[in-house]
Structure 1
Amino acid sequence: MNQPDHNTNDTPAPARRPTMLRRLLSHHELATLLLLLHAPIDASAKPEIPRLHEAGLIETVSGDAGASHIRLTREGNAVLRGLGVK
């Protein structure tokens, strides 16, 4: 017996950024998040920056002098809170 399909939502799901919940953080990535908890750092300061940026845990902001700095996003702060840091 065929049952009717109750899913009438034909709109595609919005594209999502990968989250850190899909993979474990390395100890270097955790250390970088902890550094960012206390102060923004230079965009080229750590090699883990691109992976954390792709995951949406950090963001780049421009400073007054035009220099860019990295800081935690809401998601990055949530990861640290989940670890009991904040």
Structure 2
Amino acid sequence: MNPDQETNDAPAPARRPTILRRLLSHHELATLLLLLHAPIDASAKPEIPQLHEAGLIETISSDAGASHIRLTPEGNAVLRGLGVK
């Protein structure tokens, strides 16, 4: 082994998927626009799992125990990139 090369036995950290890896559907964009104005019920839209996996939305719980969905900073950045914000 070349002494100038570093060894790294630690596993690589899991990379979070980014929106740049795929295009959003028109339904996903519409859901982001809905979330721009107010959190929605976690079961309100079928696009929620894909947007959550992409890191564009997050689940929050209210004091009453109900779950709601809101935009993450990355989700806000997507909308700003589209000129919405």
Whether TM exceeds 0.5 here: the answer is yes
CA distance in 1, matches of 2:79, 2:45: 18
Give the gaps of 5 or more residues in structure 1.
Answer: none
Shift of 1:54: 0.4
Which aligned runs of 4 or more in structure 1 are off by greater than 4 angstroms? 4-12
Deviations 1:4-55 (A, max 9, x none): 8666666543211111110000000000000000000000000000000000
How many equivalent residue pairs?
A: 85
**SS, match of residue 46 in structure 1:** coil
Deviations 1:31-85 (A, max 9, x none): 0000000000000000000000000000000012100000000100010011111
Aligned CA distance change for structure 1 residues 56 and 62 (closer, same or farther; 3 Å): same
CA distance in 1, matches of 2:25, 2:37: 19
CA RMSD of aligned residues (A): 2.2
Range 30-39 or range 15-24, more displaced: 15-24
Aligned CA distance change for structure 1 residues 7 and 78 (closer, same or farther; 3 Å): farther
Determine whether 1:38 maps to 2:37.
yes
TM-score (norm. length: structure 1): 0.86
Range 10-19 or range 76-85, more displaced: 10-19
Give the gaps of 5 or more residues in structure 2.
Answer: none
Identity of paired residues, percent? Answer: 91
